[in-house]
Amino acid sequence: MNSSANKCPELLAPAGSMESLRAAVNAGADAVYTGGSMFGARAYAENADTPALLEGIRYAHLHGVHVHLTVNTLMKDRELSLLPAYLSPYYEAGLDAAIVQDIGAFSLLHRQFPLLPLHASTQTTVTGPYSGLFWKQLGAVRLIPARELSLEELKEVKRVTGIEIETFVHGALCYSYSGQCLMSSLIGGRSGNRGRCAQTCRLPYALQKDGRRMNRKGEAYLLSCRDLCSLDLIPVLAEAGIDSFKIEGRMKGPRYTAGVVEIWRRYLDRYAAEGPEGYHVEDRDRRQLLDLFDRGGQTPGYFFQHNGSDMLALSGKPEFREENAALSERLDQSYLREEKQISIRGNAVFAAGQPMRFRLSCRGAEAEAVGECPERANTCGATEAEVRTRMMKMGGTPFHLEHLELSLSEGLFLPVGQLNALRRDAVASLEQALCSRFHREQVDPKTHNDRDREKDVFPLPAEKKGEIRFLHVSCESEAQIAAALSCPEVTELSFDADCIPAKDWKKWATEIRESGKKVYIGTPQIFRAEAARFFSRHAETLIDTEADGLVMRSLETPGFFRALYEAHGKPLPPFCFDYQVYGMNREARRVLTACGAFRLTLPVELNRAELSELGCSGSELVAAGRLSMMVTAQCLKKTVSGCDGVPALFMLRDRRGMDMPVKNRCSFCFNQIFNALPLSLVGMREQVKELGPESIRVLLTTENEAESRKVIQQCAASFLRGERVSEPYEHFTRGHMKRGVQ
C-alpha cells in the first residue's frame, strides 16, 4: 500500500482460484479473499484444496499481500464440529483473517483461535451501529456492512463501533440484502446462505397488479442489478474513512481479476499521490472495465442513492460483446504469465580470511547466507564487475535485486559454484523470512464438543418432546388480527408495526390482551435509518401499548429498542428472534439466547432430521404461511411506475407462471417478495410433534379474513387438538422440512 498524506484504503481482490490469486497479487492488490474446500459462499468457484491454498498463502505473503479466507456460510451442527480442524493449517500458516457469517462459527472461532482476526461478512446484514456492535462484542475487528448502506450510514457505523469498515466498490450486486435471500433456496434447494445461489434474480419476470402486466416486455429483468463501479468515488470513500475497498468476482476468471485490480490500483495510487483535487476517471479505463464484463451498464451503487431503475439492467445482459483481444493478451502477458518481481536490497562481503557473507533485505525482513573463506588467487583475482554480475542474478526467483553494496578484497579466488550457492542460500532464507513471520504456533483443533454447557441452555428434544403449548399468529392487516382473535386457541398474536396505523396500536393491543392472548409488536426485517426514525417518532405510542414483547427480525433491533425504551425510563420488554435471525447450530442459539431472547424461531432451511439434531425444545416452528424469500432496497413499484409512497400488493410472475406476492413496505422503504406457495406442515402433524417445539407459528401475509381464519383453525385443530384435518391451502409446499438444503 502506498504511503502518502492521503490515506489509501486497502485494495481487496477476489481469488476464486489460485490463478486468480496470483493475478490479483501481480496486478497490485493489497489483500485477496479466497475460499477453501469448505464453508465458502461461492461453492461453485474453483476453490483450492489445502495444499494449494497453503501455497497461495505463501505466495501472497512473499509479496506482502494479506489473505482473507471466506468462512461465510451458515453451518449446521455437525459441520461446526469440523471447522477448527479445517481452519488450523491455514491459521498456522499465517492466515490474515477469516470472513464469517454464522453466529455460532464466529463465536467458536474467536474462542478457538483468539489471534485470528475475524471479519463480519456482508452476509451478516449489518445495517447500522447496533448490529455492528453485536459483531464487535462477538470478536469482530472488521465489518462488511450491507451493500445498500449510504455513505452517511457507513460513517455512522464506523463512528459508533470504532472498528474497520470494508465495503464493496466493484462487481456484481445482489438484488436482495445479502444474507436475507431465500429465493434460490426455496425455489430450487440451492441456498445462497450455503454458497450455492442459483442466481434467480438474473431471470426474466413480469410484474402484475390486479392481473395487468406493469413492466414492458423489453424490460423483463426486474431483479437484475447492474454491476457496481465506484471508481469515481475513491476520494469521497477514502476521506469518509472506509478502510478496505472490496472487488467482487470470485466466480470470474484470473483475467477479469487482473484487469480490474490493475485499474483500481492505478487510481488508488493516483489519489494517494495527488489527492482529491483534479481526480477524474479516464474514458479508456471505463471501457476496459466494460470490456472485462458488461451486464448492461454500471452503477456507482447505493452510497448516494437508495434505489432506482437506473441501477438495474432491465433489458438483461448484452447477448454479445466482442472480446478486446489486445487487452486480453496484454493482461495475460503482464499478470498471468509473468510473476511480479519483489524489489530487494543486498550486501555482499568477500574478505581475505573471513567467511563469504551475502545479506538480503526486504520489507523489514533480513536473511544472510555464510559461505567458506575465500582463497587467494594464484593469478588474477575476481573483479568487482564479475562478482556483482554473479550476485545480481535472480533468474528463477521472485526477486529483483535493485541495489547491491559490495565489499571485495583484492586478489581473491571466488569459484562460480560457491557464489551461486551463496546466492541461492540467501534467496531461500529471505523467502523463508518473509513468510515465516506470518506463521503461528500450532493449535489443538478441538472439535466443538461443549455439549454439557449447551444442554443447560438447550435441552435435548427428548426432554420435552411433543409439548406444543403455544399457537402464535403473525398478522399484517387488521382483518388478519380479527381472524386470529376469533380463534380461542391462539395464545399469542403479533402484528407488524408498519401494517397497522400507529394510532390503532393501543386499541388492538388492548383487545388482544382482553381476549386472553399475549400481544407482540413485529419489527422490520431490515432496520435502517427509516425504521429508526419511524419508531423514534412513535416511541411513546409503542411504549403505551404495553405489549408483552417484540418480534425481532434483525440483529440491529435489540440494541436500538433497548436504548429507545431506556430513554423513556422503561426496560426493554421481552423479545423473540424470528426465523430471519439464523440459529442454525447450537452455538448460534446459545449466543442469541445470551442476547436476551426468550425464544428463538427455528431455521427454515433445515430438514426434519437436522432440526431433530439441533433440538427444538423451547423454540418456535413456522408451520404455515408464506415465507419471505427476498427483501430489497429496490422497489418494483417505483421501477415500473414511480414512487407514490403508498404501500401496495403486486404479483411477480416467473417463467413457469408462478406468482410471488410483493409488498412495498413504504414506512421502511424496502420491498418484500414472498414465496408463490405458502408453507403448510399441517399434514406432518406427527413429525412436528416428534420434533417437540413449544410453539407453532402461523404467518399471515396476503390472506383476507376468511382465508386467515381457515389457516388458523386448521393449525389449531392439527397441532393443538391432534385432529386429522385437510390442508389449509389448495396449493402449498412443505418447504425444507423433507428435502433441506445442500
Task: Tell me the pLDDT tens digit for each residue of 400-457.
Answer: 999 999 999 999 999 999 999 999 999 999 999 999 999 998 877 664 444 444 443 3
pLDDT digit string (tens) for 348-363? Answer: 999 999 999 999 999 9
Q: Determine the average pLDDT of the residues in 193-203.
A: 88
Q: What mean pLDDT is predicted for residues 587-615? A: 96
The stretch 588-596 carries a mean pLDDT of: 96
Q: What does the pLDDT average to over 495-505?
A: 97
pLDDT at 457: 38
Could you tell me whether strands 412-413 and 375-376 are parallel, antiparallel, or unpaired per DSSP bridges?
Answer: antiparallel
H-helix or E-strand containing 559? helix 557-567
- Greater confidence (190 vs 516) lies with 516
pLDDT at 741 over 80: no
CATH topology of domain 466-626+679-720: TIM Barrel (3.20.20)
The pLDDT score that the predictor gives to residue 377 is: 87
pLDDT value at 271 more than 90: yes
C-alpha to C-alpha distance for 419 and 358, rounded to whole angstroms:
9
The residue-averaged pLDDT of 300-316 equals 96
Domain chopping of the chain, boundaries: 10-173+225-337, 342-436, 466-626+679-720
Q: Among residues 696, 252, 132, which one has the least CA distance to residue 469? A: 696
Q: In what order do the strands lie in the sheet with 599-600?
A: 599-600, 575-577, 549-552, 518-522, 492-496, 470-475, 695-699, 620-625, 679-680
pLDDT of 725 reads 94
Q: Report the relative pairing of strands 518-522 and 492-496 from DSSP bridges.
A: parallel
Listed in sequence order, the residues at least 6 apart from 585 whose beta carbon sits closer than 8 Å to its beta carbon are: 75, 76, 77, 79, 80, 102, 104, 105, 614
Please give the Cα distance from 155 to 165 (Å, whole number). Answer: 9
Q: Where is pLDDT greater, at 389 or 323?
A: 389
pLDDT given at position 465? 57
Residues 6+ apart with CB under 8 A from 594: none
Please name the residues in contact with 287: beta carbons below 8 A apart, sequence gap of 6 or more.
none
Provide the b/e sequence for 204-228 (b: ≥16 CB within 10 Å).
bbbbbeeeeebbeeebbbbbbbbbb
For the stretch 715-722, contacts whose Cβ atoms lie closer than 8 Å and that sit 24 or more positions apart, written own/partner, are 715/471, 715/623, 715/624, 715/682, 716/471, 716/487, 716/489, 716/490, 718/682, 718/685, 719/468, 719/471, 719/623, 719/682, 719/685, 719/688, 719/689, 720/468, 720/471, 720/489, 720/696, 721/489, 722/685
pLDDT score of 461 more than 80: no
Residue 346: what are its φ and ψ, rounded to 5°?
-135, 160
Q: At what angle do helices 129-138 and 557-567 cross, to 10 degrees?
A: 110
Q: Residues 379, 424: contact at Cβ < 8 Å?
A: no
Percent of the chain with pLDDT over 90: 85
Please say whether the beta carbons of 523 and 552 come within 8 A.
yes
**8 Å CB contact between 13 and 31:** yes
What pLDDT was estimated at residue 456? 38
Q: What is the mean pLDDT of residues 289-301?
A: 93
pTM score: 0.93
- Decide if 602 contacts 610 (C-beta within 8 A): no
Distance between CA atoms of residues 393 and 599, nearest Å: 68
Please check whether residue 598 is in contact with residue 576, taking contact to mean a CB–CB distance below 8 angstroms.
yes
Burial class (CB in 10 A: 0-12, 13-18, 19+), 240: middle
User: Is CATH 1.10.10.10 what the domain over 10-173+225-337 is classified as, yes or no?
Assistant: no
Confidence band (pLDDT; 50, 70, 90) for 740? confident
CB 235 within 8 A of CB 279: yes
Distance CA 619, CA 606 (A): 14
Average pLDDT, the chain: 93
In this prediction, residue 39 carries a pLDDT of: 75
Q: Tell whether the model's pLDDT for residue 629 goes beyond 90.
A: yes
pLDDT band at 478 (very low <50, low <70, confident <90, very high): very high
Share of the chain above pLDDT 70, in %: 95
- Averaged pLDDT for residues 518-524: 98
pLDDT at 114 (0 to 100): 94
Residue 650's beta-bridge partner residues?
A: 662
Q: Each residue of 18-59: pLDDT tens digit?
A: 999 999 999 999 999 999 887 755 555 556 788 999 999 999
Q: Is the pLDDT of residue 634 over 50?
A: yes
Q: Is 466-626+679-720 in the same CATH topology as 10-173+225-337? A: yes
330 Cβ contact list (under 8 Å, min separation 6): none
Contacts 24+ apart (CB under 8 A), 79-82: 79/38, 79/39, 79/585, 80/104, 80/105, 80/108, 80/448, 80/585, 80/587, 81/447, 81/448, 81/449, 82/38, 82/447
Residue 366, pLDDT > 80, answer yes
Q: How far is CA 432 from the centre of its chain?
A: 34
The answer to whether 508 and 478 have CB atoms below 8 angstroms apart is yes
**Backbone phi, psi, residue 269, to 5°:** -65, -35
Q: Find the Cα–Cα–Cα–Cα dihedral 154, 155, 161, 165, rounded to 10°.
A: 60
Residue 443 confidence (pLDDT): 79
pLDDT grade, residue 739 (50/70/90)?
A: confident
pLDDT in tens, 319-339: 767 889 999 999 999 999 988
